[in-house]
Chains A and B, each alone.
Chain A
């Protein structure tokens, strides 16, 4: 008998935890209310900087109403724009503004909901925390090859870059490197997440990623003495920044519209700020 009671205790603890969770959810119920009674799927792909925010939103919405399924994929800004344009997904995210050509060809509606920095990051073991713009250009073009030359330890510099579908790359290339050369020996990684794990595991690594995606596993580098902090990005002192967009084909309706409305709701804007981005009102 005792055993049975012991067994019952565990679910009780879980129940309590779940209850607390629902209480927390209750506080957000206002913003989620439009999703009540809905069902269907929302497919999202594209920019990988958007993923932390999108993932948390999807979790909240699907927990509130399990009849709604939200699928989330990466691929990069170029993929997001193309897939939404071709009707493969409902929302195509991009970490850059779609070009005039893309907007016209696919009849895109643009929803800009955050400002995000593109931060240069190194491994936390690397003592180098500040680079000038000309040093950065020399590093990425392959002219500086050892951390020793920059005041670090004697270790080769391993470059990590993204492919052309990446909005993060486009912004970094234009605003940090002034469209300068990226060494052909640089390693390519396919997403912001992969960039983070590559740098986190490589003591000689350097790369660039969404400032909102930064965490303790990597160390952000100040450019010309300016750190890619939220404050500096917001004030414009940190220059390497961009807007995050969610794009739809034509004017969104139904669930897709409600999803985008949530981004601009007080709860959505709070979430965007929590994830390390600067929310932008509609």
Chain B
């Protein structure tokens, strides 16, 4: 049914409004970050260390921190999520499967600060005592908790893409005498790759954007991490820590560079998902 013209206009207005907000945010960051683009200063952001006392404002350590923490979280969460999704939507143990699914749905709603809090009191001492080195606030600790944060997103997304496989294909596989795992390997997996990739990118975006977990658990040191047990500072944590600096200082303006970078990373991921969707679009079941 076609919506009434008035409703159509209303929805169009709402869509335009919300789309323009994200554009305005970009504009805002570019305008306020403009002083950074002068005199090749912008390039120095990627080469200098972060030493505000010495007039050096490089954020390469934070970029390394963000990428390190979120990639590691992804590496930890991906196999786990894939296994969970297979269990929930393909193997389907009657009671446990439902229970697992409900738990995962519940987990998506846990505030990150709660995860961070639990991490500070349980995981940080554990990691410290296990490895007997460092403070326990490190790349690994933050990535482990971040993996818990992003896994539910991935699991639900994966389950969803598994369930989009037409039932007739599955029945055909059953008729050929496939075991559930054979069915998964030869029918479900090849046809849900795009969904899997989409879920992974979405989770990565969430990991990159999260602030609280890294702020509470990664130690926030300003040197780039070289090992799993090294402390790290992410771009988001950096913004949270530096936002308190003097408004007129150059230090404060760096926030906009961090914001622009995060914006660019998110944009790149969105475009990736779009690209995948388009690849999927030509297909008809």
Question: Once the chains are docked, how many angstroms separate the CA of A197 from the CA of B240?
Answer: 19
Given the known A-B contacts A164-B52, A201-B121, A201-B125, are A187 and B137 also in contact in the complex, defined by CB atoms under 8 Å?
Answer: yes
Residues on A with beta carbons closer than 8 Å to the beta carbon of B133: 156
**Cβ-based interface call for B147 (8 A):** no
Question: Once the chains are docked, how many angstroms separate the CA of A156 from the CA of B219?
Answer: 15
Residues on B with beta carbons closer than 8 Å to the beta carbon of A156: 133-134
Are A202 and B135 interface neighbours, CB within 8 A?
yes
Are A164 and B221 interface neighbours, CB within 8 A?
no
Are B241 and A202 interface neighbours, CB within 8 A?
no
Chain B min CB distance to A97 (Å): 15
Are A79 and B221 interface neighbours, CB within 8 A?
no
**Chain A residue nearest to B241 in the complex (CB):** A163
Interface residues of B in 201-258 (CB under 8 A from A): 215, 219-223, 230-231, 233, 240-242, 244-247, 251
Are B121 and A78 interface neighbours, CB within 8 A?
no
Question: Once the chains are docked, how many angstroms separate the CA of A35 from the CA of B36?
Answer: 49
Chain B min CB distance to A85 (Å): 9
**Cβ-based interface call for A268 (8 A):** no
Are A202 and B128 interface neighbours, CB within 8 A?
yes
Given the known A-B contacts A164-B52, A184-B222, A188-B233, are A202 and B136 also in contact in the complex, defined by CB atoms under 8 Å?
Answer: yes
Q: How many residues in B have their beta carbons less than 8 Å from beta carbons of A?
A: 32
Question: Once the chains are docked, how many angstroms separate the CA of A173 from the CA of B240?
Answer: 22
Residues on B with beta carbons closer than 8 Å to the beta carbon of A205: 135
Question: Once the chains are docked, how many angstroms separate the CA of A185 from the CA of B221?
Answer: 5
Are B221 and A186 interface neighbours, CB within 8 A?
yes
**Chain B residue nearest to A85 in the complex (CB):** B247
Q: How many residue pairs at the A-B interface have CB separations less than 8 Å?
A: 67
**Cβ-based interface call for A190 (8 A):** yes
Given the known A-B contacts A186-B221, A201-B120, A202-B128, are A163 and B135 also in contact in the complex, defined by CB atoms under 8 Å?
Answer: no
**Cβ-based interface call for A252 (8 A):** no
Chain B min CB distance to A64 (Å): 33
Chain A min CB distance to B42 (Å): 22
Other-chain residue from A82, A186, A189 in contact with B246 (beta carbon distance below 8 A) = A82
Given the known A-B contacts A184-B50, A186-B221, A188-B220, are A165 and B135 also in contact in the complex, defined by CB atoms under 8 Å?
Answer: no
**Chain B residue nearest to A158 in the complex (CB):** B135
Other-chain residue from A82, A163, A164, A198 in contact with B247 (beta carbon distance below 8 A) = A82
Chain B min CB distance to A74 (Å): 10
Residues on B with beta carbons closer than 8 Å to the beta carbon of A186: 221
Mask for A188-204, Cβ within 8 A of B = 1, else 0?
11100000011001101
**Cβ-based interface call for A76 (8 A):** yes
Chain A min CB distance to B116 (Å): 12
Are B221 and A76 interface neighbours, CB within 8 A?
no
**Chain A residue nearest to B245 in the complex (CB):** A164
Given the known A-B contacts A184-B222, A187-B137, A202-B128, are A165 and B49 also in contact in the complex, defined by CB atoms under 8 Å?
Answer: no
**Cβ-based interface call for B84 (8 A):** no
**Cβ-based interface call for B124 (8 A):** yes
Question: Once the chains are docked, how many angstroms separate the CA of A158 from the CA of B229?
Answer: 12
Known: A156-B133, A184-B221, A186-B221. 5 other contacts (CB 8 A): A79-B244, A82-B247, A185-B230, A201-B125, A204-B135
Interface set of A (CB-CB < 8 Å, partner B):
75-76, 78-79, 82, 156, 158, 160, 163-165, 184-190, 197-198, 201-202, 204-205
14 CB contacts below 8 A, A to B, read A75-B244, A78-B245, A78-B246, A82-B247, A158-B135, A165-B244, A184-B51, A184-B61, A186-B221, A187-B231, A188-B220, A188-B221, A190-B240, A202-B135
